[in-house]
Structure 1
Amino acid sequence: MNYIIDRIGPEIAVCETEDRGMIKLRAAELPMGAREGDVLKWEPEGWKVDREETERRRESVRKKLESLIE
């Protein structure tokens, strides 16, 4: 399952699940350099940012936004 970082606070990160639920993680558990909008996946060694899926989603949002302002 993918988790999308919604917001990151000093101690807690709130992530949206694929089924639109919300979970809280300790911010210290996030991979170094993780930021809002990144897609997280759980792997045996811990959380990892899925760069490919993150970029795919960001590009999709960019295209939708561009279509709204054309």
Structure 2
Amino acid sequence: MIFIKAVIDRFEDEFAVCEKQDRKIINILRKRIPQNAKEGTVLNFNDDGSITINFEETIKRKREIEEIMKDLFT
């Protein structure tokens, strides 16, 4: 079961700086997140302590951002 969702905002040293759904910022040790995660990746913080990538939500957000950018620059 998913406990929290957060988006990776950036990486700073050994931390992934993530924004939770309530807009609060949390720092997660980079070694705790999946290796293929990058800026913009949506993470699921599961109640069993694991952190996984939410691929569906990540793709959805990327498409939404692309549409906004397209509207702004055309």
Q: TM (normalized to structure 1)?
A: 0.91
Matched pairs, number: 70
Amino acid at match of 2:61: R
CA shift, 1:45, in A, is 5.7
Regions of 4+ moved over 2 Å: none
Q: State the partner residue of 1:67.
A: 71
Q: State the partner residue of 2:33.
A: 30
> Gapped runs of 5+ residues in structure 2?
none
> Gapped runs of 5+ residues in structure 1?
none
CA shift, 1:39, in A, is 0.1
- Three-state SS of the structure 2 residue aligned to 1:67 is helix
The match for 2:50 among 23, 27, 46 is 46
Q: State the partner residue of 2:20.
A: 17
**How large is the RMSD of aligned CA atoms in angstroms?**
1.2
User: Which is bigger in relative contact order (C-alpha 8 A, separation at least 6)?
Assistant: 2
